[in-house]
A and B are shown apart, each in its own frame.
Chain A
């Protein structure tokens, strides 16, 4: 696989706040990444530094093997519309798309027109008069139709209703299948995007908490449900992420995998084994990290 983005020891400090600390990552070509984490975990900061819209305090970034800062050749192959993107005051969506068409060499006008219809976006209303969801739609349409080799979506769902969000996920996958590229999707609606993601990066307080393939992550923990004493027998000696009890029934999420023999024993003891959703795993791992 070809690495398209590489960060080494990336750090960003604002006066006393540490936004990013020692972030070292490699992102590969033609992969959908989920950049997950709580508000203020450093997701937007990381994306804005990779796209040279912001500056790192320490460490460095390579995109397509080069420093992206003031590098038109590299920047032109990336697209990053911020969640709080500002548009010229009296711009209409049509003018924003006309601009994007000019600057992104792979821009697909047909796709943009299609998406405008799908999102019911009023083309002749000024952007500053749009609702939060419609504003998000403008950014989503630019991001998708630009077909940049590396595209960042910064919490693109804000204000979008459930139908519009599903349209976004569907169109993203559809277009990605035909035109593979590197997509970085920042989100904290983890369950919603879990099925899209091939690789997951979780930031917590500016540090990389998880950097693993989605498949790898799904097998990383398991939840066991059943009689409290049987469950505690199983969990002893394992790293427990979370337990919940209701009467005599306990549910425990533990790190690690369960092999076939163990699975049989658990079933014989009357315990149920449930997979752990990505969201559960991220939440539990983040909480565990923050307790430390």
Chain B
């Protein structure tokens, strides 16, 4: 446990990676959204102003953080005589901590935003439509899951790249894209796409969040196995 905590501290020796940059991205997106809220009228159909994709901006950075953790921090952790297991657990732990922090900011921000009538501008930045209306807890859990999923995706593809090289990584990536395309094609060809979309909608937001957690967990375990025999 002590060794895993040390890896958490190692990953956080540079405060920018997991704290600074996500906050800067979030802060920047927030300020820009406020400026836009001040300029645009309320969307009549919604009854509020919506910041669109801006609130998810810090999530995408997390995919980069997953890649960075492996390409640079992993070789350094090897020089620090850290086992691959401790590196893995410590790195996943700091990603989880940062994701929890970010989803808490969104929850607290959402309540403040609500109390001040959308920053006095009837805007919605922290309250993601649908999720927040269903439950602030659902929003927090979904945000956490999405961040961890993106981090794990970055991590998985980098492990594959480092373990088996570029060709195999591209094959896996293209394979997944091909699978999705084939599924879409088959769904349209055999006319069950309506049923499929209904089924997807039927799973509901909570359901999808739990599926996301499941996928993240599977990817996280799958990334550990090749890491055990990856040379820095």
Quick check: is A104 within 8 A (CB to CB) of the other chain? yes
Q: Residue among B68, B72, B76, B228 with the most chain A CB within 10 A?
A: B76
Q: Which residue of B lies closest to A79 (CB)?
A: B81
Instruction: Say what secondary structure dominates the interface of chain B.
Output: helix
A70 close to chain B: CB less than 8 A: yes
Whole-angstrom CA separation of A102 from B13 in the bound complex: 11
- Picked from B68, B80, B86, B228, the residue with its CB within 8 Å of the CB of A89 is B68
Selected contact of B81 from candidates A51, A90, A95, A98, CB within 8 Å: A51
| Stretch of B2-10, B108-116, B152-160 that contacts chain A | B2-10
Give complex CA distance A148, B10 in Å: 19
Tell which of B17, B68, B76, B86 touches A99, judged by Cβ atoms closer than 8 Å. Answer: B76
Decide: A95 and B14 in contact? CB cutoff 8 A.
yes
Check if B76 sits within 8 Å of A88, measured CB to CB.
yes
User: Knowing that A70-B83, A91-B13 are A-B contacts, what are 7 other residue pairs whose CB atoms are under 8 Å apart, sorted by A's residue number?
Assistant: A75-B83, A80-B79, A81-B79, A99-B10, A100-B80, A102-B6, A103-B6
Query: B78: CB under 8 A from chain A?
Result: yes
Q: Residues of A contacting B73 with CB < 8 Å?
A: 88
Query: Within 8 Å CB of B85, what residues of A?
Result: 70
Give the one of B10, B13, B81, B84 with max A CB within 10 A.
B81
Bound-complex Cα distance A55 to B84 (A): 13
CA distance A82 to B78 in the complex (A): 10
15 contacts between A and B (CB under 8 A): A53-B231, A70-B83, A70-B228, A75-B82, A80-B79, A82-B75, A85-B76, A88-B17, A95-B14, A96-B76, A99-B13, A100-B80, A102-B6, A102-B10, A103-B10
Please, how many residues of chain B have a CB less than 8 angstroms from a CB on the other chain?
27
- Interface contact A53-B232, CB-CB below 8 Å: yes
Q: Is the CB of A90 within 8 A of B79?
A: no
Given contacts A87-B72, A89-B72, contact A72 B86 (CB under 8 A): yes
- Map CB proximity to A onto B9-49 as digits: 1 under 8 Å, 0 otherwise: 11001101100000000000000000000000000000000
Assembled-state Cα–Cα distance A85/B229 (Å): 19
Shortest 6 CB-CB contacts between residues of A and residues of B: A86-B75, A103-B80, A75-B81, A88-B72, A95-B13, A70-B83
Shortest beta-carbon distance from A112 to chain B in Å: 14
Question: Which residues of chain A are near B3, meaning CB under 8 Å?
Answer: 72
List residues of chain B with CB within 8 A of the CB of A90: 14, 16
Interface membership of chain A positions 156-182, coded 1 if the CB is closer than 8 angstroms to chain B and 0 otherwise? 000000000000000000000000000
